[in-house]
Each structure stands twice: as C-alpha cells, then as structure tokens.
A and B are shown apart, each in its own frame.
Chain A
Amino acid sequence: MKMKGTLLPQSSEWTFESLLLYEKAIGDIAKEFHLDTYSNQIEVISSEQMIDLYASTGLPINYPHWSFGKQFVNTEKLYLKGYTNLSYEMVINSNPCISYLLEENSMTMQAIVIAHACYGHNSFFKNNYLFKTWTNAESIIDYMVFAKNYIHKCEQKYGANAVEELLDACHALKNYGVDRYKRPQKISLHEEEARQTERAAYRQSQVNDLWRTIPNNFQKKQNTSNKKHRFPKEPEENLLYFLEKNAPLLEPWQREIIRISRKIAQYFYPQKLTKVMNEGWATFWHYTIINELYNRNMVSDAFMMDFIKNHTNLVYQLPYDNPNYFGINPYTFGYNLFSDINRMCTAPTDEDRLFFPELTQQKPLEALDFAMRNFKDESFILQYLSPKLMRDLKLFAILDDEKAPNIKVTAIHNSAGYESLRQLLSQQYNLAFVEPNIQIYDVNVKDDRSIILRHVQTDHRPLDEESTEKVLHYFHSLWGFDVVLESVSPEGTVLKIFRCPAIAPPSNA
C-alpha cells in the first residue's frame, strides 16, 4: 500500500533548494527508523577539490607531505585520462559530521549519497563501539589544525628536510602506531597545545632517567644477578608509542610529531576494522530510505529506475575468476549481511531458526541496531553470516600451501562447510592476521642500547624482505641504535633475523 506524501522535485539537475527538500525528507524517514546521528554539515565540492581530499587521506585538513603530493598527482592523472571515476561522496567522522558531495552528481545520486553518508555512515560513526572508544569526533578537526600548525612550526625551526625524514619514518610505521587495548583521552585544541609544552619537558626527563649512565656500583651488582629482566616487561605492540616515550636520542619536537602520527593512525584504526560493516550499514540504509520515499509517492518511477541502476552497480560482486576481481566487495557483503539480519527477523525460515534461534525472535530494528553498535567486521561475520548468504554468494575456501603442488578446495557452501567458511572468512578480516604481528620484545638497556623486535609468524607466512629492511632502516633512524627483527614461529623458534645497520653474518666456526 502506498502512503501519501508530497512529490519531491523531479529534475535530474540538483539545486540547493531541491537538496534541502530531499535532505529533510530523508532525515525525517531516518528518524522514524531511529537512526541516531551527529548533526550534518553537507558541503558541495568540485572534482578538483575531491582529488585534493583524496590526497589528504580523507581529512579536510592535513600537513603537507610529499606522499600526499604523489597521491594527488596519481589520482589527477588517472582521473583526467578517464581511467578512474571519483567517488560520489566522502564523509568525515567528526561532529558535526562533514559530508562532501560531488557537484557532478545527478539529483538521484545526491539523494543516495545523503541517505548513505549523512545518515548511514554518520549513525555508524556515532554509535559503533570501536568509534566511540577510539576516536573523538568532537576534536578531530581541531586536532588536525593543531597538527598542521605544529608541523609547520617545526619545519621553520628545524628545516623541511628534517621534518620530512621524520614523517617518512612515522608513515612507514603507522600501522604499528595503534593502541588496541588502552583507552585514549579526549582533549580540545587549547588543552592539546598547553599539554604539549608540558609533555615535552616531562618526557625528556623520563627518557634521561631510563638511560642514566652515572656509575652506580650498587645498581651494577643488582643487574648482574638479575640478568633475565627484560625491558619492556611485556612486549609492546604500539611501536610508535614506544619510540615516542623511550627512544634515547630524539628531540622533544620529534617525539611530538611521532605522537601526532600515531594519533592520526589511531583515528583511522576503527575504519580499517569495520570496512564491511560501515559500508554495509550505509548501503542498507540508503536502500531502505530511498525505497521508503518511493512507497510514500515522494519520488517518481524514473528516479527509482536511476536509483536501482546505481544501487545495483554498487552491490555487484564480481566472481573470483573475473579478470577484474579485486576481492570481496565490502558494499555487497555488508549490505547482504544487514539485509539478511532484517530478513531473519521479519521472515525467518526453519534453517534460520536452527542457526539463529534468538535472532529470529527479535524485532528487526532492534536487532540491526544491536549488530551495528557492538561488532567489528571479524566478529560481525562470525556472529551473523548465515548459510543462506553463503549460498547466495557461492563462497568457497581454498588452502594455498607453498609446500603442496596445488591449491586445495577445503570448504564450499554446503552444510559440511558452513562453520569452516564462516571461521575462515572472519579470519580474513582479522587485522592481527592480515598484518604481520610485530612487537617490541627487548631492549639492551645496560649495554649497547640495541632493540629487539619480534615478528610472530602466522600460517608460516614470511615477511617481505625488501620492504622489511627499508622499514627497519626508518625504525633505526628513530631509535638511534642497532635494531634487530627476529621472525619467530608461534612456538618461539627464531627463523630469520633482520638487522639494521646490516652486519656481516657471524661466521660459523
């Protein structure tokens, strides 16, 4: 049954007046679905400005760095030659939530994008536990202003080259500048600036204490008897944090810049962990909201055809054997997962009752809301991937063992394979599994100050030697003394050792 509503402007060209009308209609429907969002700040930008945004890694403000210039040059080239399209929107996890709409979009696209970004992503940013824990939407823009100004000051004081070298090192280690367990604090720009000065002085004094070299006979004796004592006591996963606090030779400004890099890395960390959920949630809601507009007679059939075409393109999953296959499409996968929750709550089958006895009892909006708030990709898949969806996507698992002559199919979408498929797919989104697990293991505090990093292998996967050596070189530039990286098996056997500076391998006498 169609409800009554006023028809929204039907021209395919958007105007600010029609944008306002659509935004209002979409916002009203979103409210009916209990989407809880930050207030929206919606900005219309040109394609050149979108390329600029790409280059500043999706932040409206960023410090200058050659790698961003490289990104810019590359995107610009691909765009101008027609190899690539720009995305229709970009959305910033901030409060108010800033969304950028591309001016070339048709009215239909703008409506999709408003529903997708300004209500879908926005509500996800505000309510998902990872974003609530690890990011601070209120202060990110302020913090970037602080970071940009601070780095600019450092460039003037210490030279652009010195700052660039430091940033190169930080960028190389940014995946390892993330706290996974400690809770970051919320502070504003002014507090940040005030604290920064305080921190610089304090930090230097702490470092000096750790590296105290004034002879102390009593201490020396204790140490020799206590040789097993490691520093840090527990392995440290946040390499940049460790360097910021403990690297002996860094100047206070260098420590501050390391801090800035890891803060930014931390801000992006939840986005890496929720790619599927975040896009899935936004796609599910743009689909639901636009359909609701149609049900209420607020948009025409022509609008709807245009919408369906765009939506279908977005959620198309290429099969694995297509030459353009680039992995599982997060839009498709996430959209299907959320739609599937909705389906299981509204029209469960016997199979669903068997696999998800509790879910099938719940109201759809509550079940969706719960799922959005309390999971990341890895746990979300483990919790909600249903047999039906595995069959729909025709998932299958392979084992690629370098020792075996061939690749083996280990599970397919049948009752014997459901559990194993779910497990393996969830694993595929586990960052600890995707990125090499490297932690700081020990520092030779009393002797030559060399530092030992440990890479614990998963699935016998080796590190890429060329890049590892380069990154170690950067690590060495921050630490200032010898750096050793041991690649060990899960049982603790050392399999390979990287060193920086490289030394001749010890002769086997």
Chain B
Amino acid sequence: MSQFIDRRTNGRNKSTVSRQRFLNRFKKQIKESITRALSQRSITDIHVGEKITVSKKDINEPFFHHAPGGSISRVFPGNKEYSVGDTIARPPSSQQQGPGGEASDQGEGIDEFTFEINKDEFLDFFFEDLELPDLVKTELKALPQFKNVKSGLSLYGSPSNINITRSFRKALGRRIAFGTDKRKKIKIAEDRLSKLTKNSGANSPRRLRLKKYIAFMKEKIIAIPFIDTFDILYNRTTKQINPSTQAIMFCVMDVSGSMDEAKKDMAKRFFILLYLFLTRTYQKIKIIFIRHHTSAKEVDEQEFFYSRETGGTVVSSALELIYDIIIDRYATNDWNIYVAQASDGDNWNTDSPYCQSLLKEKIMPLVQYYAYIEIMPRHHQSLWNSYLTVKEEHNNFAMQTISKPSDIFTVLHALFKRKAS
C-alpha cells in the first residue's frame, strides 16, 4: 500500500527558528561585520543585505576524533602502478587522507564560514544599537506606499469587483450566439410543419415528430444558461506607487581635527536614520553633503566622510552655504527640506550669536525639520546655548547630546511622533 502526498504547498520555513538561533549565537560577529559594512557603505544603500564571515573556529561543533599520526592502514581504489613493497612519498599536506591532496575551490578561506543576511535582518541589527521603538522600526522597513488604480477588466477576481454591465453584455452575446442555430432549425421545422398541415391529417406521425422536435429545440434554447461563469468580468486594479513629493536632506558635519573616526561613525548612523525616515515619506530624496571647518564646502559622500582637515571651526559658514543653496536651487514650495547637523560642539565663540540669528531669521522658516546632534562634547560651548534659544522659538528644531548610538533616536523622536499620529 503506497500513498502519495503533495507537500509542496506546505510551509518552507521549517528552519526559521534554528536559523534565528544561529544568528543570535553569532550576534557579536555579525554586529562587527555590520559596523564594518556601515563604514564602507553609502548612506543610500542601506537597504540591502550583507555578507557575514565567521571564523570556523568559533562555529565548529567539537567531537572526539583522532589527530593525524600513528600508524594507519588504509585501502584505496584505482591502483595503477603499485605493487607490494613500493614506497610513496608522503603528500605535503599532513592530513591523514593519504594520496590526493585537497584544496578548497569555493572561493572562501578554509578557516572561514560565510553566509548572507537579508535586508530586514541587516536593518534589525542596525536598529538594535539605536534602540528604536518597534513601531518606528516596522515603519522604516516598510515598502513604499501604493494606491490601487482601475485598469481595465479581468477574467478573475473577487465577487465584490464584478463589473455587472459588462458581464451581462457578454452573457447576452453568448446567449444569442449559442441560440442562433437552434432558432434556425426551429424555423425550418416550422416551415415544414406548415406545409405538412396542408397535405396530411392533423395527427400524422410525421407531424407529431416535427412538433416534438420543435419543442425539444425550444427547450434547448431555454437551457442555455442565462449567465455563465466565463461571462463574468471583474474590474481590474493595479498598484501604482503613490506619487509623493520630493525631499532635500542636508548633511552638515564639522570636519575639524577634533572629529575623530568614532564621532564620524556616530554621525553617519544619525544621517542614515534620517535618510531611512525620509525614504518612508518621500519618493525622491536628494542628499547634499556639506562639510565645514573655518569655511564650508559642498562635497560628495566619499569626501564627506573620509577626508580629514584641521583647523578652527566656524559653523556659520555652513549655515550660509545651506541658505544659499536653498535659495539658488530649491524653491521652498516644491521641496521638503531637512537638515541634519553633526558636530562636537566646537565653534568660534563670536560666531555663535551669528549662527543663532541666521537660523532664526533665514533658515528655520524654510525647513521642515532641523536636527542637531553634539557628539561626545567635553563640555557645552557657546554654540549649544545659542541653539537652545532657537529651540525655544521653533518646535521643528531638535537638538541632542550623543554619547552612544542609542541616544540618536531621541533627536528625531518628534519627527516620528508627528507622522505616527
């Protein structure tokens, strides 16, 4: 007795839990890989998976086994030239496998175990340090918004989408088509019947047969279904990406000598987070990188993060540049403007009041949101105090001192809250 079962429709993710456990166990290594990846990735390709490499030493499951050595006899197939008493030079690899050295041809080192995590898992690990609320995480990972648009008719669909007019029209056509030959036959039969009436008696067998035939044909016409399943047409809808407006994101960073790699890494996470937020809301995002020390400059991402400068700091130079760029290129009505500024708080003392007035009078009226983070400052300087006064007047201005990645989210908190409501 044998029985066949089609299991293909069953779930295919039986190993999900085990896989999750595996990732958890090697969290440390994965996080290291992700930190490394973050420093190499551009802000805009945050939405992809990552290749993770773990040392085989960490991942091997130990068991009792022999080490090479001792005096072992082995049997091999495929003897070509040996006879008893021949000696063979020991192959260079000290493995006990005997003749036939082995090499890895799979593109990865023998001591490494490589696997890939997908985009969602990558973001999970990225968010973990940032300690985002769950709601925010799911929103950030969400795909772009779609809306349904009518696009013709389809043979399949749900009952609620039946197009009644078109379905009936199609049914009518079918009924006419299917009935035509029958009606023709009835007509011929009736003609014959009327001829017969003249010649023969009222109840001749031929007459009866014709009448029966006509009745049968009429029944057949009635039997044509009024509406059939393949008459039914459904309104078809297709998904269209919801057109959304465009955004400009200014990344402003102090690149004076005091900003070291660790601070820049923190700043990068801050920019990434804002970028992720914007991708959720806007279809098209332009990022403008502005770095500054005593003077500001618009640069590309590579230069933004990796080239180093020394010297003093004049923040107002960057603010002036932002203002100029906005006025020059981006009319406020078409663009949503966001500014993210990262600094360690250093500024030329006399420059701070100027920054304050620049922000209050020129920039803040033009932007949606302005987030400022101060990374690991020794103590707050004049810039912080000037910004505080800006914050009092504008509720779309946020500022925060950052000492660890989990602090970053608070500066964007208001953004997410506003959207969630």
Which residues of A come within 8 Å of B, CB atoms?
16, 19-20, 23, 27, 39-46, 48-49, 51-52, 55-56, 64-70, 72-74, 77-78, 83, 96, 100, 103, 118, 160, 164, 168, 171-176, 317-323, 325, 328, 393-414, 416-417, 421, 424-425, 427-428, 435-436, 438, 455, 457, 459-468, 470-471, 474
Contacts and interface: CB of A to CB of B under 8 A. Distances in A.
A400 B77 contact: no
Given A64-B18, A70-B59, A77 B116 contact: yes
B77 A73 contact: no
Given A44-B5, A46-B12, A320-B76, A64 B96 contact: no
Q: In this complex, which of A19, A72, A328, A414 has the most chain B Cβ atoms within 10 angstroms of its Cβ?
A: A72
B3 A41 contact: yes
B7 interface: yes
A398 B78 CA distance: 13
Contacts of B10: 49
B106 to A, nearest CB: 6
Given A69-B21, A394-B79, A461-B72, A408 B66 contact: no
A386 to B, nearest CB: 15
Interface of B: 1-8, 10, 12-15, 17-25, 59-80, 82-90, 96, 98-103, 106, 113-116
B173 to A, nearest CB: 36
A243 B18 CA distance: 26
A316 to B, nearest CB: 11
Given A66-B22, A69-B21, A412 B71 contact: no
Nearest to B8: A46
A393 B71 CA distance: 24
Main secondary structure of the interface of B (DSSP, over half): loop
Sort A-B residue pairs by CB-CB distance and give the 3 closest, nearest first.
A319-B78, A69-B22, A461-B70
A45 B98 contact: no
A72 B82 contact: no
Tell me which of A45, A400, A427, A471 has the highest count of chain B C-beta atoms within 10 A of its own C-beta.
A400
B22 to A, nearest CB: 3
Interface centre among A69, A394, A416 (most CB of B within 10 A): A69
A175 B64 CA distance: 8
Given A409-B88, A436-B66, A460-B69, A49 B12 contact: yes
Given A398-B74, A406-B89, A409-B86, A40 B1 contact: yes
* Prevailing SS type, chain A contact patch: mixed
B84 A319 contact: no
22 contacts: A41-B3, A64-B17, A68-B15, A69-B21, A317-B78, A319-B80, A320-B100, A321-B99, A395-B75, A398-B73, A400-B73, A403-B71, A407-B89, A412-B84, A424-B73, A427-B73, A435-B65, A436-B66, A461-B69, A463-B66, A464-B64, A471-B63
A457 B116 CA distance: 42
A48 B7 contact: no
A64 B18 CA distance: 5
B20 A412 contact: no
B19 A72 contact: yes
A27 B3 CA distance: 12
Contact of B24 (A66, A411, A427): A66
A323 B102 contact: yes
B56 to A, nearest CB: 11
Contact of B6 (A16, A323, A457): A16
A328 B73 contact: no
Contact of B88 (A39, A74, A398, A455): A398
B16 to A, nearest CB: 9
B74 A77 contact: no
A171 B78 contact: no
